[in-house]
Amino acid sequence: MAKSIGIMGGTFDPIHIGHLITAEMVRSGASLDEVIFIPSARPPHKDGIHAASPEDRLAMAACAVQENPYFTVSDIELKRAGPSYTVDTIAELRENLDGAELFFITGADAMNDLYRWHEPKRLLQSCQFIVATRQGAPLDELLIAEKFTAEERRHIHVLMTPHLEISSSVIRTRIRAGLSVRYLVPRAVEEYIERRGLYREHDEEL
């Protein structure tokens, strides 16, 4: 039988337990065989505002998934030149994961913005979307209905996940202020950040 594979894309600067809990809830809720975390090389919508290098973001993602046998990390977007368009990532994955059904996992905020992504209609045809909605961050059903046809909307599935008030920017701000991030990121990620001296100071507007 064809595998069902979840794709969790993100900037992951750094990856945190909100990302991991969402991926695990979706994996078990949607009976996925595995979830691949894909750090974005140059997110089309966040051009030039990374605080950690792509290599460090990839390494932190690898640290974060090491305890979950269903999770892996891919550098597919880091190896590709230019912006990380999801439609290209899905097409490339399709070639390599023959026959697998792909489920792109996003939060509601990202999904509400989908119509502005690169070739959103082709993207929706090429995979399923699982929207992990959290309390306080609802899916804008009216906007989705306005932008996509009923056929396209059949590729969008909603799954409620726990709400955790955690963001990568809060983590970066805490580290810069010398505050603890214990439990906000897996221990291995915390150790990696400490070892590499990440996020202590930089020019970025947080």
Q: Which residues bind ligand NAP (CB under 6 A)?
A: 9-12, 18-19, 22, 40, 43-46, 84-86, 106-110, 117-118, 134, 137, 164, 166-167
Q: Are 123 and 96 in contact (CB under 8 A)?
A: no
Our measurement of the distance from residue 68's CA atom to the centroid of its chain's CA atoms, rounded to an integer in Å, reads 16
Nearer to ligand NAP by C-beta: 1 or 29? 29
State the minimum distance, in angstroms, from the CB of residue 69 to ligand NAP. 21
Nearer to ligand NAP by C-beta: 165 or 203? 165
Q: What is the distance in angstroms between the CA of the first residue and the CA of the last residue of the chain?
A: 46
The token duo for 38 is 């894909």
List phi, psi (to 5°) of 24: -70, -40
Nearer to ligand NAP by C-beta: 19 or 172? 19
State the minimum distance, in angstroms, from the CB of residue 153 to ligand NAP. 18
State the minimum distance, in angstroms, from the CB of residue 9 to ligand NAP. 2
State the minimum distance, in angstroms, from the CB of residue 15 to ligand NAP. 8
Round to whole Å and give the CA distance between 153 and 130. 11
Nearer to ligand NAP by C-beta: 54 or 107? 107
Round to whole Å and give the CA distance between 199 and 16. 14
State the minimum distance, in angstroms, from the CB of residue 1 to ligand NAP. 27
The token duo for 200 is 């202590």
State the minimum distance, in angstroms, from the CB of residue 139 to ligand NAP. 10
Nearer to ligand NAP by C-beta: 1 or 13? 13
Nearer to ligand NAP by C-beta: 1 or 168? 168
